[in-house]
Structure 1
Amino acid sequence: MYLGIDLGTSGVKSILMDDAQTLIAECSSRSVEVSRPNRGWSEQHPDLWWDAVCESLDGLAAHHPKAMAAVKGIGLSGQMYGAAVLDETDRPIRPAILWNDTRTEKECADLEVRAPDIRRIAGRKPTPGVTAPKLAWLRDHEPDTFRRTRTVLLPKDYVRLKLSGDKASDLADSSGTMWVDVAARDWSDTLLAATDMERAQMPALYEGIDPTGTVRAELAARWGMASRPVIAAGGGDNACGACGTGVIHDGQGTVSLGTSGVLFLATGEARPSYDHAIETLCHSVPGVWHQMSVILSATSCVNWLSGVVKRPASELVADLGTALGTPSPVLFVPFLDGCWSPRADVEIRAALVGLQHSSDDEVLTRAVLQGVAFALRECADAFRAAGSSIDSLLAIGGGSRSELWLSMIATSLGVELKVPEASELGAAFGAARLALIAQTGARPEEVLTAPRINRVITPVQNLVPAYAEAYDTWLSLMPQIRRASVALGRAA
């Protein structure tokens, strides 16, 4: 039996998988709140992550004691880029700055001055979400915190520390920090020095399939585990999602609809992106890399609308049905937290354009879904401009349960979307698969196979021109919306 733990921004999902890779059980924690004390800030205290993990595993132990007793390996997946800064006693000094925090625009520019070769080494240009500029911000704005920092851990690796006492990370997650030489698959002393950091403050690096330690004896006893399971290095949520869907070969890809929206393509080599904010990262599998483009708000846009109109998000989406209609008469720009990729713009914010008296809940919901689809179209166009071909993608994440949303995305991007079984558990399932490899030594290609496809969503061909025209109008709004966002931000 293998356990996959996925630490998301809004909570934890854990699954139990048997030796045949059959899903046995899953349990989610309560929601984990995000603190936004200032415009563009996004923070969580690391202990909230650990509490959520314990809640999830306590639930599995209570309802599936025999399966938990048989767990031999644990895989970790998690939200990327967050900076958990620890003191000499390994306690968090302050709340972690999260992936969707956009306060570090100045520090990103400074990084390119301090390390002129950063795009070649790290595989991309610095953007505010990644980890390195967060530490530069602490250095410049919270010098006492920076001085006391002995270790920096990514979110899932703080969970690892609590589980086993080991300070370790995987290359897929760590290559997103902008402290890793992506081609060499190792920490870069040049990039660390650019933020006045040292290797001694970094965890040990492993490939995602490698074991990093074992669960503490007292925790194994708490959850009724007969032995102390091996903990795999694991990966960031997107790399683990790709492992869950077997996307480990050059040219394979996914579109993920979670809190964020992600386009992901596996590559056989490190392919730096110099002109767009497209990430080139290591994969969780040795000798494989991937390119990724992230929009900061996807399902979180629907949740935002849910809060505004005081109706459940699932109800709002369900009311639209499953058949794709003509483009919405209202346009929505989904940059509630700014835009990370493929444009790096921390100033732009979300907007609704074209509102009128008839703009009811259904019109607004359709506009929100369409806005996310158009932002993903912009990402896809950047991939294509960089020389990548996208003809078919696997759709994963909670948002992939919406037939209408997938149809909208397929039609906007001009791609076929394949929806695998249990797609909303992709990252946790991928983490469990990595645990199986770490515990047994099995070959990755024998374990990380493609899933059975539940359904295939194709573009609605007669609507492709209309969605292309609506997208062009949407794209043309960006300069005006940015100018208004900047002005309103200064006035706030």
Structure 2
Amino acid sequence: MAGDLYLTIDVGTGSVRAALVDEAGRIQHLAAHEHDQIVPQYGWSEQRAENWWTGVVRAIRDVLAAAPEAKGRIAALCACGQMHGTVLLDDTGRLTRPNIPLWNDKRTSELVRAFETQYRVADYIADSGNPPTPAWPAFKLQWLRDHDAPAYRSAASVVMPKDFINFRLTGEIAMDRTEAACSFLMDPRTGTWSQKMCDLLQLDRAKLAPIRRPLDILGSVTAAAAIETGLPQGLPVLVGAGDFPVALLGSGVTRPGLGSDVTGTSAIITLNADRPLLDAEISNIGTVEGGWGGFVLLESGGDAMRWARRAFHERSLDYAAIVEQAANAPAGSERLFFLPYLTGERFGKHRNSRAQFFGITAEHGLAHLHRAVMEGVALAVTRHIRIMEQACGHRLERVIASGGGAKTPLWLKIKASAYNIPIVIPREAECGIIGCAAMAATATGRFSRIDAAAGSFVTHVGEVLPDPRWAETYQRMQPVFDRLYRHSQALYDDLDRLHD
């Protein structure tokens, strides 16, 4: 039957993926093509935009080759992508700069510090919806203005990675509200570009692409794109959204009271809300369904486990063996604390924070150290949850976990007990692909609301409940952890001066 498949594209940092998803939300075929990051110098991270397009073309052709009959059955195409990568296009649609600074590029750190020195949080947070960080495109644009003036001057449109792919597919230029909300340039009250923020940062508002809704039909596949990709000319293409909010949708985090825990290298905890949570420690992202997701990022989530494996075992043990050791220690690790700030923090005045163990005695062994690392991440995230709950005025009811950390039962139980909130896991781990499919199904009329599409496509398995005894232990430890966090900040600058 025509129109019973959805084609999804995910422009990730490590690869481009394309997938065909059926009307029941099942992935039928998936293809991926890797691309490299370019590191011209320490702290920089770039990719070539043309490599994204090459990967998209190859991935689409792969999934169509795997299902030759599918071409005529695709109802719509929806893309998501890595956020904050700042792409400049001239008035003919050509790239003014082939290499794109990515979300993890830190070259703007000095610009962020200068902004924080010049302005108080109260001066701008209601207009930006976010605290400043090197990730935001606003600061990338400042850097491009100052260090690649020809590329900046000749740019007519600023777009994000998935928007560049959409342009190559349709010839149309737009940015969606989820990407714009994390630019540091969108007014969260109006959903339009903020002239005030552009003035504070001395950026040209006219260069910013039009903001559209993620579920809007941006355009259709052009004749030229059809020849390159093998797609049918005229196939509807959605505006789409950033990979993070699409993954929230595809994991089922669609209403206030629900939260998301994505633990990979970092750990991102997100609380679904009906308004942005304006706080110096909280970032805010627009959600696909039109609400907000307040989130806090812990730079070292799974990376804390990776560090412990290297530091204690020189990588001779696998993660399963390390978790098995940690399971031999009691909850609380005999009053041993670990502050997991191995690579600092993303926001605030203490980006130079450090990790530490506190409370080591002669009774502690490797099992305690390993469990303390897992518990330290959980306590750090719990601190973030309490800040967000206070900002929005309601408690989290349930957390939906995804990423590598969702595959470790012990860690899930530690987190559920520290948060004192049940945790569930999506049955389908490819949350971004499922989210894109739900968007395409809604945009083409199969569902009247995006939350209904997510409810149909997303199922959860393996509820992890808090252990009452562990929860009591962590509840007593949390205030001590919080005091350690605050009191340690006075020493970070002292540590830096020792390096001078």
Length-normalised TM-score, structure 2: 0.83
Question: Corresponding residue for 2:432?
Answer: 427
Q: 3-state SS of the aligned residue for 1:38?
A: coil
1:382 aligns with 2:387: yes
Paired with 1:486 and 1:84, the residues of 2 have a C-alpha distance of: 39
- Equivalent of 2:397 in 380, 387, 391: 391
1:182 aligns with 2:188: yes
Give CA deviations for 1:188-239 in whole Å, capped at 9, x if unaligned.
2222222222333112211111111223444444544345432222222232
- Equivalent of 1:192 in 188, 198, 221: 198
% identical equivalent positions: 23
1:405 aligns with 2:411: yes
Q: 3-state SS of the aligned residue for 2:256?
A: coil
Task: Kindly report which structure 2 residues correspond to 1:280-291, keeping only aligned pairs within 5 A, or say none.
Answer: 280-286=284-290, 288-291=291-294
Q: How far off is 1:34 after superposition?
A: 6.3
Aligned AA (1:410):
A
Q: Residue 277 of structure 2 contacts residue 388 of structure 2 at CA under 8 Å; is this kept in 1?
A: no
Paired with 1:212 and 1:434, the residues of 2 have a C-alpha distance of: 13
Q: Any stretches of 5+ residues in structure 1 without a counterpart?
A: none
Give CA deviations for 1:430-488 in whole Å, capped at 9, x if unaligned.
11211222233742243121632211111121112333455445444444367347744
Compared CA separation, residues 117 and 375, structure 1 to 2 (3 A): same
- Equivalent of 1:371 in 376, 379, 394: 376
Paired with 1:206 and 1:459, the residues of 2 have a C-alpha distance of: 41
Question: Corresponding residue for 1:459?
Answer: 466
Compared CA separation, residues 93 and 463, structure 1 to 2 (3 A): same
Question: Corresponding residue for 1:172?
Answer: 178
- Equivalent of 1:262 in 261, 265, 268: 268
Compared CA separation, residues 207 and 45, structure 1 to 2 (3 A): same
Q: 3-state SS of the aligned residue for 1:448?
A: helix
Task: Kindly report which structure 2 residues correspond to 1:318-333, keeping only aligned pairs within 5 A, or say none.
Answer: 319=324, 325-328=330-333, 331-333=337-339
Length-normalised TM-score, structure 1: 0.84
Q: Any stretches of 5+ residues in structure 2 without a counterpart?
A: none
Deviates more, 1:257-266 or 1:47-56: 47-56
Q: 3-state SS of the aligned residue for 1:407?
A: helix
Aligned AA (1:462):
R
Q: Residue 105 of structure 1 contacts residue 346 of structure 1 at CA under 8 Å; is this kept in 2?
A: no
Q: How far off is 1:149 after superposition?
A: 4.1
Q: Residue 230 of structure 1 contacts residue 438 of structure 1 at CA under 8 Å; is this kept in 2?
A: no
Q: Residue 130 of structure 2 contacts residue 182 of structure 2 at CA under 8 Å; is this kept in 1?
A: no
Paired with 2:343 and 2:26, the residues of 1 have a C-alpha distance of: 37
Paired with 1:28 and 1:332, the residues of 2 have a C-alpha distance of: 38
Give CA deviations for 1:285-308 in whole Å, capped at 9, x if unaligned.
24x333222223433444555666
Q: Residue 64 of structure 2 contacts residue 71 of structure 2 at CA under 8 Å; is this kept in 1?
A: yes
1:109 aligns with 2:116: yes
1:252 aligns with 2:255: no
Q: Residue 12 of structure 2 contacts residue 82 of structure 2 at CA under 8 Å; is this kept in 1?
A: yes
Q: Residue 75 of structure 1 contacts residue 431 of structure 1 at CA under 8 Å; is this kept in 2?
A: yes
1:491 aligns with 2:499: yes
Compared CA separation, residues 45 and 359, structure 1 to 2 (3 A): farther
Deviates more, 1:426-435 or 1:329-338: 329-338
Paired with 1:356 and 1:68, the residues of 2 have a C-alpha distance of: 65
Higher relative contact order (CA 8 A, sep 6+): 1
Q: How far off is 1:90 after superposition?
A: 2.0
Q: 3-state SS of the aligned residue for 1:256?
A: strand
Larger radius of gyration: 2
Task: Kindly report which structure 2 residues correspond to 1:234-253, keeping only aligned pairs within 5 A, or say none.
Answer: 234-253=240-259
Compared CA separation, residues 249 and 480, structure 1 to 2 (3 A): closer
Q: 3-state SS of the aligned residue for 1:372?
A: helix
Count of aligned positions: 485
Q: How far off is 1:417 after superposition?
A: 0.8
Give CA deviations for 1:264-303 in whole Å, capped at 9, x if unaligned.
23333x3441x432123332124x3332222234334445
Q: Residue 11 of structure 1 contacts residue 28 of structure 1 at CA under 8 Å; is this kept in 2?
A: yes
Question: Corresponding residue for 2:297?
Answer: 294
Deviates more, 1:364-373 or 1:248-257: 364-373
RMSD of aligned Cα (Å) = 3.6
- Equivalent of 2:42 in 38, 51, 56: 38
Q: How far off is 1:382 after superposition?
A: 0.8
Q: Residue 46 of structure 1 contacts residue 96 of structure 1 at CA under 8 Å; is this kept in 2?
A: no
Deviates more, 1:190-199 or 1:377-386: 190-199
Q: 3-state SS of the aligned residue for 1:192?
A: helix
Q: Residue 390 of structure 1 contacts residue 415 of structure 1 at CA under 8 Å; is this kept in 2?
A: yes
Q: 3-state SS of the aligned residue for 1:80?
A: coil
